[in-house]
Amino acid sequence: MVWFRPKYIFIGLFLAVAIWFSMEQTQFEFEKFKNIPNMFHFIREQFFPPNWGILGRLIEASIVTLSMAFLGTIIALIIAIPLSFMAARNTSRHPILCWFNRSMLSGLRSIPEIVFGLIFVVSLGLGPFPAVLAIMLHNIGVLGKLISELIESAEQGPQEAMKSVGATRWIAVLFSILPQIWPNVLSHFFYRFEVAIRTSLILGFIGAGGIGQQLFNHFQTFQYKSVAMDIIVIIVLVIVVDFIGGKIRERVI
């Protein structure tokens, strides 16, 4: 049979070994699934009813979370746009400048927010400010890469037209490329904003404030009814942002 080449048996064996090895490493045991009914019991007993009394405080905390995510990504966008033009092959003034910008962007991108966050929390103190910096730095790297790729794949035609009307270099580049890529830039921005909201929840765990920190504190102090309330607010927050982001994207494109 053609579809059972010996190669496939080797691949199958290799995968089986890799799965077994990973299960050993993570103490993954099927017996543990027996405990699932206990989990439901635990949740029913400890999480319900959610603690509605803290709703007001949680809404305040969500506004902090939103602000962290928004500020971090919008500053990142403002910084990333000019950097992307310098990092794109077709608009960079010099190959060395282009290479330098690219390496810097990929450096920023490869460091996760949580690492930046830990460094800044230790060096700058607790609170949302270090989280904003962490989100900003990582997203400069991410948006810079995405936008410079958009610039490189922009249509040549309008760029030639702007050259032939005698426009100066940067005006030609801006006018011929920015209108083409703008809808995609915004769409990446909104996506990164949504990711940043989830990130700022995690950053809350290391003391960055906002609703993530509420969740972490309630969890650490076994206040599971408050944890339930935190989770409800987080779910609503993510859904609302997703909905509003979708509406704005529709209008822009």
Partner 1 sequence: MLQVKNLNVIYPKATENALSDVNIHFQKGEFVCILGKSGAGKSTFIRCLNGLQRPTEGSVILNDKNIFQLKEEELRQVRVEMGMIFQHFNLIPRLSVMQNVLTGMFGKRPPIKNLFGIFSKEEKHLALKMIEGVDLAQHKHKRVEALSGGQKQRVAIARALLQNPKVFLGDEPVASLDPGTANRIFQLLQSIHNDYGLLTIINVHDVILAKKYATRIIALREGKVIFDDDPEKFTDEVYNEVYL
Residues that bind partner 1 (CB under 8 A): 157-158, 160-172, 174-176, 179-180, 182
CA distance 213 to 234: 12
Minimal distance, residue 99 CB to partner 1, in Å: 20
Minimal distance, residue 151 CB to partner 1, in Å: 15
Residue closer to partner 1, measured from CB, 20 or 170: 170
Distance of CA 224 to the CA centre of its chain: 28
Instruction: Specify whether the CB–CB gap between 212 and 65 falls below 8 A.
Output: yes
Residue closer to partner 1, measured from CB, 23 or 97: 97
Minimal distance, residue 166 CB to partner 1, in Å: 2
CA distance 249 to 146: 17
Residue closer to partner 1, measured from CB, 21 or 182: 182
Residue appearing with tokens 């996760």 = 112
Residue closer to partner 1, measured from CB, 61 or 181: 181
Instruction: Specify whether the CB–CB gap between 231 and 56 falls below 8 A.
Output: no
CA distance 85 to 147: 8
Minimal distance, residue 180 CB to partner 1, in Å: 6
Cβ count near 81 (within 10 Å): 18
